Amino acid sequence: MREQLVLIGNGMAGMRCLEHLVKLAPHKYEITVYGKEPHPNYNRIMLSSVLAGEAELKDIVIQDRNWYDSNEIRLHTSTEVVAVHPLEKQLELQDGSRKDFDKLIMATGSDPFILPLPGVELEGVLTFRDISDCEAMVAAAKQYKKATVIGGGLLGLEAARGLLQLGMEVQVVHLHHYLMERQLDEPAAKLLQKELEEQGMDFLLQKQTKRMIGTDRVEGLEFVDGSRISTDLVVMAVGIRPNTGLAISAGIEVNRGIVVNDWLQTSQPHMYALGECAEHRGATYGLVAPLYEQGEVLAKRLAGVDTKPYEGSVVSTKLKVSGIHVFSAGRFADQPDSKSLRIQDDMAGIYKKVVFENGKVVGAVLYGDTSDSTRLFSLIRKREEVAGREREILFGESVNSGNAGDMQDQVAMMELDEIVCGCNGVSKGRILQAVQEEGCKSVGDIKSCTKASASCGGCQPLVEQLMAMALGQDQMETVPEGICGCTVHTREEIVDAIRAMELMSTREVMHVMGWKEPEGCSKCRPALNYYLGMIWPGIYQDEGESRFVNERNHANIQKDGTYSVVPRIYGGVTSPSELKRIAEIAEKYAVPMVKITGGQRIDLLGVQKENLPAMWSDLDMPSGYAYGKALRTVKTCVGSTFCRFGTQDAIQMGIELEKKYERLYTPAKVKMAVSGCPRNCAEATIKDFGIVAIDGGWEIYVAGNGGVKVRVSELLTKVKSGEEVMEWCGAFLQYYREQARYGERTAHWIERVGLDAIREVLSDQATRTVLVERIEHTLSHTVDPWKEMIESKEKAQTFMPQVHSVAKTEEGIR
């Protein structure tokens, strides 16, 4: 008769153990699993994606019910174990019944820490630990607008980002003076805060909550310093504590967690513990990789397979927030016996720190560029001797490294048991096995077979390189992926369907094309809004609620929650009366800082949100769209008007371009510049569209980028007259509008499709004429949305202007 093995807790750690056990010894035990939730095992790391609407529960299930059945595992969901009796080898269920066991695994996880504050019992005060929490937040977001997250750690920021994507105004309250202090040092945390503020989050740092305000439902928070804020929803993400209640009542040794030895045994030899509830050598772990390592060791032990004992884990962290690259591992804080090397580029938003001790790498923090994370983490885990090579470790790679050659070297150096996908615990060896033995030929195959890169997607470049190493680049299959997790459809399929079926709203597109999430998400809603506006100008009515927070407020949010107002100054040329008006407005609204920007404009910084409509009204100047996916600015030098080297009138050309295209929405932000001679004082050759004057004409450059990864623009063509400049500019912009993916800068678009292909299209005079006609049609239907905001009292209060935007009725160039 087989031994009875019981697992308490149907979570990731315990089920990882059983997954290995049934492969190693499929018939050794009769296995029973008890879980409090009504679901099979799911990936809790992906709760933020569910919250944001990018995935559903079915998308994050790791083992479905068929898996339990096929492996002869009895699963009891919605069943709570209320007591364990070690001497009798029995456990007691909530209905009073008792069940026998021979061996018991406790994987009871952790409980969210609830601050013991007055008002914590009010409706609208939630935690963020399971699917039910996500469902409660999604429901609240449909009814309420203001959310506050208490806790600026990893989980709190992921919750905040999810709430932001649900359309809520989100503020994060944090006791420390910078974010994620357990995973980041201060310089990296400040860069992270700046990026999150640009995405729309507000932060209240060094704030300690005193009580919740409200009668039945939470209405606000009061802090120890006496200040208050209003809110409709509070999410506590201030930490977790091991769930040890069952162990304590059973008389098992407990410290902070359930104390286990190197074989994951508790003080009762026939009882084991692993995961967040366990304490090993004084350490508890809340990240998935250590829990998976524990599960594998215990599975081998239970199967009777020789294995090394569990000796603890070196942990690494990656923040799962869209568009942000953060990595930390090991002991990254400076200590008396350690030394560190750093790279910090505030302009590019890149920070790297590597910590050394006794000739070994012991910790690292990366922000902005995490391409070295696999190599550094491998060095930390292996404790490889690097004395004398410290500078090479950090400075030997380019700040913008990550090319195919570098990554091929990284994957070649990895051991077979090294984890590639931290979200799902998939090793290099498992991926190679899937390629070599199971016929996987695409990243999609690998996702289906192993789940590697199926969660946050951060490991996909490594997965691709592993596949290329195993198969050869020419044998890999490329399968287009949807624009977001809500759909399998690509940008091209969506645009074609909108035209062919004459779809006229985002909801209609989602319904007709079978969106998985009927409300869409923050990735697809703005994209659909743009594509509809681009295709149907004058017909489609822009959805303000589908735009990002900065676009809705017509100002850039800053790190303290105030806003930056940038009026349009054409070509950087202003007048005394205009300057006087700006100065008077700055005094009237007590603007803390007035700054000349790099784009030759004046930035009013520190404006309160409630003052924005009145301030725009008093300024009576067009918005500079410093927040929009639109033309930002046209930078100019003085050209032939004043400069002795100038060969053309750069100022006039810049003003004409800016006035022509100032209200045009584009897939991503567009920056232009006009230089009056080849000395290029206006930096035209790192702009999306740059014009450089030469004797007898102009050179037109495109696809430059002065951002994180600097890209020098490429020569598109040379023309003789200003009229030709305007024609080529209109044709280029319209072709970019019609062909690029939403959010894709001109630099990335041209790298994807090739300048030669674009030049071939635009070199045809008839094609340029058609493109210019279409952009003129679009421009004839544009108005200033900021002006609509200040003309309507109701819209000014809600900051949800109904923007009448761009679109077109003719067929696009295929």
Helix/strand/coil for 398? coil
Tell me how far apart the alpha carbons of residues 96 and 615 are, in angstroms, rounded to a whole number.
67
pLDDT reported for residue 801:
34
Every domain of the chain and the residues it spans: 3-110+242-303, 125-238, 402-475, 626-783
- Cα 283 to Cα 249, 275, 294, 319, 516, distances in angstroms: 22, 11, 13, 22, 41
Q: What is the dihedral of CA 56, 62, 68, 69, to 10 degrees?
A: 60
Least trusted range by pLDDT, from 392-396, 455-459, 759-763: 455-459
pLDDT reported for residue 461:
75
pLDDT digits (tens, 9 = 90+) for 131-155: 999 999 999 998 999 999 999 998 8
pLDDT reported for residue 207:
95
Residue 689 pLDDT level (bands cut at 50, 70, 90): very high
**Which of 279, 135, 250, 150 is closest to 208 using CA atoms?**
150
DSSP state of 129: S
Domain range 125-238, its CATH number among 3.40.50.2000, 3.30.470.10, 3.50.50.60, 3.40.50.300: 3.50.50.60
**Which of 186, 192, 193, 221 is closest to 207 using CA atoms?**
221
Residue carrying the six token digits 């690292």: 364
pLDDT digits (tens, 9 = 90+) for 237-296: 998 999 999 999 999 999 999 999 999 999 999 999 999 999 999 999 988 889 989 999
Tell me how far apart the alpha carbons of residues 670 and 662 are, in angstroms, rounded to a whole number.
10
Round the average pLDDT of the chain to a whole number and report it: 86
Tell me how far apart the alpha carbons of residues 131 and 59 are, in angstroms, rounded to a whole number.
12
**Which of 485, 490, 488, 369 is closest to 742 using CA atoms?**
490
Residues 6+ apart with CB under 8 A from 794: none
Domain range 626-783, its CATH number among 3.40.640.10, 3.40.50.2300, 3.30.413.10, 3.40.50.261: 3.30.413.10
CATH number of 3-110+242-303: 3.50.50.60
- Cα 47 to Cα 56, 162, 362, 683, distances in angstroms: 9, 9, 31, 44
Residue carrying the six token digits 């001109």: 746
For β-strands 218-223 and 146-150, DSSP reports them as unpaired
Q: At what angle do helices 460-471 and 443-450 cross, to 10 degrees?
A: 110
Q: At 539, list the tokens.
A: 């017909």
76 has a pLDDT exceeding 50: yes
The enclosing H or E element of 593 equals strand 593-596
**Burial (CB count <10 Å: 0-12, 13-18, 19+), residue 518:** exposed
DSSP state of 611: G
Residue 575 pLDDT level (bands cut at 50, 70, 90): confident
CB atoms < 10 A from the CB of 544, how many? 20
Asked whether the domain spanning 125-238 has the same topology as the one spanning 3-110+242-303, the reply is yes
Tell me how far apart the alpha carbons of residues 775 and 813 are, in angstroms, rounded to a whole number.
13
Produce one character per residue of 734-764: b if its CB has 16 or more CB atoms within 10 Å, e if not.
bbbbbbbbbbbbbbbbbeeeeeeebbebbee
Domain range 402-475, its CATH number among 1.10.10.1100, 2.60.120.560, 3.30.70.20, 3.40.630.30: 1.10.10.1100
Under a CB-based contact definition with an 8 Å cutoff, are residues 467 and 431 in contact? yes
Q: At 337, list the tokens.
A: 């016996």
pLDDT reported for residue 794:
41
Residue 398 pLDDT level (bands cut at 50, 70, 90): very low
Under a CB-based contact definition with an 8 Å cutoff, are residues 328 and 317 in contact? yes
pLDDT reported for residue 300:
95
Tell me how far apart the alpha carbons of residues 554 and 622 are, in angstroms, rounded to a whole number.
11
Residue 410 pLDDT level (bands cut at 50, 70, 90): low
3-state DSSP of 258-296: EEECCCCECCCCCEEECHHHEEECCECCCCHHHHHHHHH
pLDDT digits (tens, 9 = 90+) for 7-40: 999 999 999 999 999 999 999 999 999 999 999 9
In this prediction, residues 201-227 reach a mean pLDDT of 95
pLDDT reported for residue 498:
92
